[in-house]
Amino acid sequence: MTDQFADIRPYDDAEVQPVLARLLQDNEFLENLAKLRLPKLTARVPCLVRPFVRWLLQRELRGVSDVFSMQSVIKKYMDRMIESSTDQFTISGLDALEAGQPYLFMSNHRDIALDPAFVSYALYHNEHETVRIAIGDNLLSKPFVADLMRLNKSFIVKRSAKGPRQMLAAYKNLSSYIRHSIDNDRSSIWIAQREGRAKDGVDRTEPAIIKMLTIAQDKATETFSHFVNELHIVPLAISYEYDPCDAAKARELYEKEAQGSYQKAEHEDLKSIALGISGTKGDVHVSFGKRLQGEFASPDAVAAAIDKQIIDLYVLHPTNFFAYQVLHGSYPNLPCGSSGVPFKESEHRNIQTVFTQRIAAIPEAHRPYALAIYANPIVSKLNR
């Protein structure tokens, strides 16, 4: 039987061991892993570290034979990352989801790898199945990255398709795969509400994403609203107290405005992934919304419904308030933190000091853009 999704779907259980064997022979992958786990030693004696990392990895992956056992290994890395780079990880809304029901989680997008990773982590620890993750092929500049992503239940969005006909074929296949995952495989999906991260802190759903999803609609037998309802869309908001990539995002935003464009460096996205994983995040909160149900006239109407939930669900941190005050001259009357208590400046002096120092370390011309990254979620809430 032909596997029409073979080139985009995650690896299945039978593929896990052959892919791991390939990765263990990939010197570039081992070198990158060595830099991440043993940076000082790698800088001194790189030729000795690579075999040692291979041995460590072989030991760690012993007994991994399917996707679930692979994700159990990844969970250990998530545990370490959360312990070392976050102060607190909280979730809300998950208790309203039906166990065993697959959902299409439509999420705001701040970090390339961590957004879906935190979502899967929340699901895993609350006895829900982890998600299949939509990831653009622009991020897969190296074969080992594609392997790692597909081992971790990622499927590929072919953004690099050239020409209208090729793009339409790619999106048809993608749309069919997402519906197949929900209807046939009974597997939940994570997909960002827009192409690329919201680098300016403004979370808005692109109607084009909804249009892509509806390519799989059978217009002869389904109305638009029925199709949308059957996707079981659940809006989702993730918020970070500190964005590890804030300085890099601010630089990009500055250069786009000052020069009219921004040219990414080679493998810049991979560096952003590494920085997101290792960088300080402070408190992190994931808010699960309510499934979209009802009548929808158009993709724009669906996007607006998703936006309303994401903006409402987004949990503000003290850093958002301090940035807003610097840019707008006052503190808004909005709740702060996952407990929803009113913001009081006097209770967060230590965070204010750390945040002020963080912004001061960014080049002066870039600082307004960095502050806006943190302030704009408040602007969105005030304007809703």
pLDDT at residue 163 is higher than 90? no
Model pLDDT, residue 55: 92
pLDDT confidence of residue 180: 96
The pLDDT, as a whole number, for residue 101 is 95
DSSP string across 153-177:
TEEEE-TT--SHHHHHHHHHHHHHH
Q: Are 290 and 338 in contact (CB under 8 A)?
A: no
Contact 268, 135 (CB under 8 A): no
Residue 1's pLDDT is what?
A: 46
Q: Does the pLDDT at position 38 exceed 80? A: no
Please report whether residue 285 resides in a domain. yes
Cα separation, 24 vs 51, whole angstroms = 10
Please report, for residues 9, 204, 222, the alpha-carbon distance to residue 300 in angstroms, rounded to integers and kept in the order given: 28, 11, 19
User: Looking up tokens 């892509």, which residue turns up?
Assistant: 212
Q: Residue 93 in contact with residue 289, Cβ under 8 Å?
A: yes
pLDDT, averaged across the chain: 93
Tell me the per-residue pLDDT of 219-271, one tens digit each, with 9 for 90 and over: 999 999 999 999 999 999 999 999 999 999 999 999 999 999 898 887 788 88
Cβ neighbours of 123 (radius 10 Å): 22
Give residue 290's domain range: 13-315
- Least confident residue range of 207-216, 267-276, 292-301, 351-360: 267-276
- 359 within domain boundaries: no
Answer yes or no: is 5 within a domain.
no
Number of domains in the chain: 1
The closest of 138, 307, 137 to 206, measured between CA atoms, is 307
The per-residue pLDDT for 2 is 61
Q: What confidence tier does 19 reach under pLDDT thresholds 50, 70, 90?
A: very high
Report pLDDT for 34: 81
> Is the per-residue pLDDT at 210 higher than 90?
yes
State residue 358's pLDDT score: 98
Residue of 287, 118, 108 lying closest to 200 (CA atoms)? 108
**Residue 354 within any structural domain of the chain:** no
The contacts of residue 300 (CB under 8 Å, 6+ apart) are: 207
Least confident span in 7-11, 29-33, 229-233, 379-383: 29-33
Is the pLDDT at 153 greater than 70, yes or no?
yes
**Residue 250 sits in a domain of what CATH number?**
3.40.1130
* Residue 322 within a domain: no
DSSP H/E element including 288:
strand 282-288
CB-count exposure of residue 27 (10 Å: 0-12, 13-18, 19+): exposed
C-alpha 135/C-alpha 155 separation (Å) is 6
**Distances in whole angstroms, Cα of residue 294 to Cα of each of 103, 158, 182:** 16, 31, 19
| Domain-located, residue 239 | yes
Q: Is pLDDT of 181 > 60?
A: yes
Give the span between the Cα atoms of 3 and 236, in whole angstroms: 31
Tokens linked to 152: 């971790």
Cα–Cα distance between 332 and 63 in angstroms, integer?
Answer: 53
| Beta strand 233-240 pairing with 282-288 | antiparallel
Instruction: Give the model's pLDDT for residue 49.
Output: 82
Q: pLDDT for 95-119, tens place per residue? A: 999 988 999 999 999 999 999 999 9
Q: Rounded to two decimals, what is the model's pTM? A: 0.93
Question: Is residue 358 situated within a structural domain?
Answer: no
Per-residue confidence band for 45, with pLDDT thresholds at 50, 70 and 90: confident
Is residue 345, in this structure, part of any structural domain at all?
A: no
What is the pLDDT averaged over residues 79-83?
87
pLDDT in tens, 277-331: 889 999 999 999 999 999 999 999 999 999 999 999 999 999 999 999 999 999 9
